[in-house]
Structure 1
Amino acid sequence: MRFGLMQSKVGLTALLRKYRFTVNNKTKEPLKMNVKSFILTAEGGIWLDAHEI
């Protein structure tokens, strides 16, 4: 479990070092949360654009 968490953190760090993420226009603002879902999610999702640094 701890090794998997460490791998996730290393992978996220690698992405954040190489890319800049911005919110796409398809993301509906203000965010409305889906109350019917067990896991907290935004209705329509959160769309991101990745720009290489």
Structure 2
Amino acid sequence: MLKWAFFFAVVAVVAGLLGFTGIAAGAAAIAKFLFFVFVVLFVVFLVLGFVIAKKVVD
């Protein structure tokens, strides 16, 4: 998912440099959304990993 966010960020930058502001704004919005979904999922799985590891060790 982080790869897709990076891809859309690059597309947004290239489109912005070439003057396609509508496409750049859309790609930037998608990249931002994917990045935040990635961060939320990362934190959730990190917490779950610590909780499960603690139960397995105990």
TM range, smaller chain: 0.3 to 0.5
TM-score, length basis structure 2: 0.35
Greater relative CO (CA pairs within 8 A, separation 6+): 1
Q: Which has the higher strand share?
A: 1
TM-score, length basis structure 1: 0.38
Q: Which has the higher helix share?
A: 2
